[in-house]
Structures are given as structure tokens and as C-alpha cells.
Amino acid sequence: MEPNHEEPKLEAFDKILVALENEQIDLFRSEFLELHPYDQASIFDEVTEDRRQQIYTYLSPQEMSEVIEHFDFEDVSPLIIEMNPTYAAHILAEMSTDDAVDIMNNFEKDQVASYLTLMHKEEADEIKDLLHYEEKTAGSIMTTEFVVVNKNMTIREAMVHLRTQAPDAETIYYVFVVDEDKHLVGVISLRDLIISEEDWLVSDIMSDRVVYVSVGEDQEVIAKIMRDYDFLALPVVDFKKHILGIITVDDIMDVMEEEASDDYSKLAAVSDMDRADLTPFDAAKKRLPWLIILLFLGMVTASLIGRFENTLDQVAILAVFIPVIAGMAGNTGTQALAVTVRGIATGDISKEGKLKRLKKETLTGLITGITCGLIITGVVMLWFGHVYLGMIVGFSILCSLIVATIAGSFLPLLMHKMNIDPAVASGPFITTINDIISIIIYFGTATIFMDLLI
């Protein structure tokens, strides 16, 4: 029988609850602080507000900051607000600067000012510096807690400096090298520092081929760079190549989750879908614009069907296949859309070329269209015993799937070319557009060959 890793946590949870109920501070601290911060956060999330208030009195701001760092930052705001303001300010000051900024970006300006006022000046200044950067850029997600050494230092001097700075640094696996003017000139791994002779110079062993990003670079681009190079940290520089901070792999993992969630929500025509704090009214307000647009597009579809009223009057059986043709076109277009948006996001389309992708999707649409067209033709012939009806439905499926595939791949490519987020070409939007196209193809074909159907 495999061991259950949840059992120790559940056992500790029971002991922690007992300690809280009996106000046994020492027992609570011994049980709670032995857990991993992730487990601490899980337990903390399950207790009532009264128990949380009790925990705030049992833990120092530094201890509590480790718990808070393992929450989704959008969910932290209510917890920070319910704390004593001074205690909350000290927690934010103890956190990594970039994490504190991520949390404070969810506050109103007057709340941010209040917490900054309650911090020590040095810690408040570090947070203020990052708050000035635009959201979703390198500056907004970087941390200023890193280690740099001068290229003219000896290895002995660099190691002494590293020991002094390491306790406050977010990571020390990469040590970045600067010159006298604070320009980024190289990087050394911790391993190279440890195995080098003490009297060697830093400049002798550093690598001067440093990959870095500008402070204004988009976080999605940074995520691709760190994924491609397998970096644990990436330096951020200004326009004169002064190092301002570093971006660590744990920050990028949060970015990748955020970007994936954002793209998924846009594909569903829903923004901020991952926010649990939205009221039903706010959620409806965010969804309504897209739904109203889709409503009017649906009315266009209904109007088109109305224009072919004479065709339907003469061959009423045509109405049976409207959902089949429209549904197939919508599904095919959504598939092409999803593949293309992902290709743009991962950079694969840039490498293979947009025209090549369009040709590939067109051929895919042709193959799927022919296959589905032949199948539906055979089914209609056997089911209704009408050869020409089967051929018209099959031909409509063929044309609709080709056009839908091209539309599903072309629309996000066009938006990307216009510097618009291609994920905005949402699934419901492309489905409705393809409904209109497929209805025109279907009834247009049926009208042309009406004599064969009657």
C-alpha cells in the first residue's frame, strides 16, 4: 500500500486546532513551524477568521510572510486587510520585494500609501521603485534582492562578499558581475566560484556572454527566454545596461500560469475568469459585452436563414442539417484557432512562417472536409434515400470546413500582425462567424441546385 502524504498533514492539523482551542502557544508553534510553508498555507486557508486572528498573535511577521508567499497573490488581499495594519506592513516588508509588489498591486492607492508609511524607509523605497513599473513587464516582476560582484575582485573577496549578501538574496546560484560603472559585464555560477583558486580574478573565470532583458520587456517574452535557456535567474537592465534586478524561475512559473489562464479565458470570451472575488454582478458585467456582440451576430445568422425562406418552404428537409453543418464549421474553426494561438504564444509560428502555417491549415481543412463530406453524403443517401440531397449536404460540409479552418487560423495571425492579442479571437466569436459562413454556403448551394432537390 502506497504511503499517503496527506496523513501527516491531517494529523498535524488536528494538533494545531487543539493547540489553538486551548491557547497553547508553544504547542501550536512547534507543530505549525515544522510543516513546509505550502502545508502551513493550506492549513491557514482552512481555519476561520477568528482562528487566523489568533495565529497572527502567535507568529512573527517574518514567519507569517513565508505562509503568505505560498498563497495566490490575488487571494491574499482580504487576509492582509483583516490584519492589524502595522503587522501587515511588517509582513509585506519581510517578503521578497517582487512578491510584496504583486500583492500591493491589488490594493487601492491609499491602502498602498498607508502600508508604505508603516514600513522602514529602506524597505518602503525598494517597493516604491518596483511599483512605478508597468504591470506585466520585467520591472514589475523582478526582485532587487540579488548578489553582484566586481570583475576586479579576487575569488576570495567575491566569496566574502557573497557570504555577506547571501542571507538577503533571493538566489545565489548565479552571481552577476559588474564593472566600476555598475554595467553588467558577466556572470559566474556558484559552482565556478567554489572550485576556483582564491587568488584568481573574477574577470578570469566569468562568462561575458550574458543573456539579459530590458526593464520594459513583456513578461511573456521573458518566460519564453527562460524556458528556452533553462535559466534559474535572468538579469534585468536599463537602457545603459546597469543591472536593476533579477527574475527568478519561481516568478516565471507564476507568469506562465497567469498567461495560460489569461489566454484560456479569452478563448472562452471571459476575462478575469480566475478571480474568485468577483461578485455575480461584476462577473456578468465582464461577460456581457462579448455576449451582446455574439447576440447580434446570432441575429445576423437568423436573418440569413430568413432570406432563404423560399428554399426552406420548397425543401423543408434542409432545416434538419443546419445544426450539423454550423456545428462542424464552428468546431473546426475553434480547433484551428486554438492551434494557431498556441503556436503564436510559443513562438513556433514565427519560426515556421505565417504563410506556411496557413497552407498547412488549409490542407488540413481540405482533408477533414473531404472525409466528413463523404461520410455525411453516404449517411444522408442511406437515411433519406436522396442522392442529390446527400451530395449538397456533403459539398456544404466540405466547403464550410475548409473556410472555417482558414478563418480560424487567419484571424489570430491578422490580429497578431496588428499587435492585438490573438487570444481575443475567442472560440464563441469564431464559432458565430463560421455559423454565418456555413449557412451562406449551405443554403446558397441548395438554392442553386433547387431543381435537383424538388
The domain spanning residue 286 has which CATH number? 1.10.357.20
Give the pLDDT confidence score for residue 2 in this predicted structure: 45
Identify the domain boundary among 107, 135, 163.
135
Query: Do 435 and 305 form a contact (C-beta atoms < 8 A)?
Result: no
Identify the domain boundary among 264, 295, 313.
264
Query: Do 187 and 174 form a contact (C-beta atoms < 8 A)?
Result: yes
For residue 233, give the 3-state DSSP assignment.
strand
Number of domains forming the structure of the chain: 3
| DSSP secondary structure of 35-59 | S-HHHHHHHHHHS-HHHHHHHHHHS
In this structure, the answer to whether residues 110 and 231 fall within a common structural domain is no
State how far the Cα of 150 lies from the Cα of 204, in Å rounded to an integer.
Answer: 12
| DSSP secondary structure of 95-125 | S-HHHHHHHHTTS-HHHHHHHHHHS-HHHHH
In this structure, the answer to whether residues 225 and 296 fall within a common structural domain is no
| 196 within domain boundaries | yes
State how far the Cα of 333 lies from the Cα of 408, in Å rounded to an integer.
Answer: 4
In this structure, the answer to whether residues 288 and 194 fall within a common structural domain is no
The domain spanning residue 47 has which CATH number? 1.25.60.10
In this structure, the answer to whether residues 75 and 210 fall within a common structural domain is no
pLDDT tens-digit map of 153-179:
999 999 999 998 888 788 888 899 999
Give the pLDDT confidence score for residue 354 in this predicted structure: 77
Cell numbers placing 348? 513556433
Strands 184-189 and 174-178: antiparallel
In this structure, the answer to whether residues 37 and 186 fall within a common structural domain is no
Identify the domain boundary among 135, 162, 188.
135
What letter represents residue 143's amino acid? T
Q: Which residues of the chain have pLDDT under 70?
A: 1-10, 257-279, 283, 286-287, 290-291, 294, 345-352, 420-428, 454
Alpha carbon separation from 27 to 8, 12, 59, 239 (Å, rounded): 16, 11, 13, 53
| 342 within domain boundaries | yes
In this structure, the answer to whether residues 106 and 154 fall within a common structural domain is no
Sheet holding 148-150, edge to edge: 148-150, 174-178, 184-189
| 273 within domain boundaries | no
Task: For 248, list phi and psi in degrees, rounded to 5.
Answer: -100, 165
Exposed / middle / buried, residue 32 (Cβ in 10 Å: 0-12, 13-18, 19+): buried
Give the pLDDT confidence score for residue 274 in this predicted structure: 47
In this structure, the answer to whether residues 313 and 417 fall within a common structural domain is yes
| 141 within domain boundaries | no
Question: What range defines the domain where residue 163 resides?
Answer: 148-264
State how far the Cα of 331 lies from the Cα of 303, in Å rounded to an integer.
Answer: 22
Give the pLDDT confidence score for residue 150 in this predicted structure: 93
In this structure, the answer to whether residues 349 and 392 fall within a common structural domain is yes
In this structure, the answer to whether residues 124 and 238 fall within a common structural domain is no
Cell numbers placing 231? 535559466
| 350 within domain boundaries | yes
Give the pLDDT confidence score for residue 276 in this predicted structure: 53
What is the CA 89 to chain-centroid distance, rounded?
Answer: 28
In this structure, the answer to whether residues 83 and 61 fall within a common structural domain is yes
State how far the Cα of 149 lies from the Cα of 172, in Å rounded to an integer.
Answer: 12
pLDDT tens-digit map of 437-446:
888 888 888 8
| 140 within domain boundaries | no
The domain spanning residue 152 has which CATH number? 3.10.580.10
| 269 within domain boundaries | no
In this structure, the answer to whether residues 254 and 377 fall within a common structural domain is no
Give the pLDDT confidence score for residue 390 in this predicted structure: 87
Using alpha carbons, select from 352, 338, 350 the residue that is nearest to residue 409: 338
In this structure, the answer to whether residues 18 and 115 fall within a common structural domain is yes
pTM, rounded to two decimals: 0.56
| 435 within domain boundaries | yes
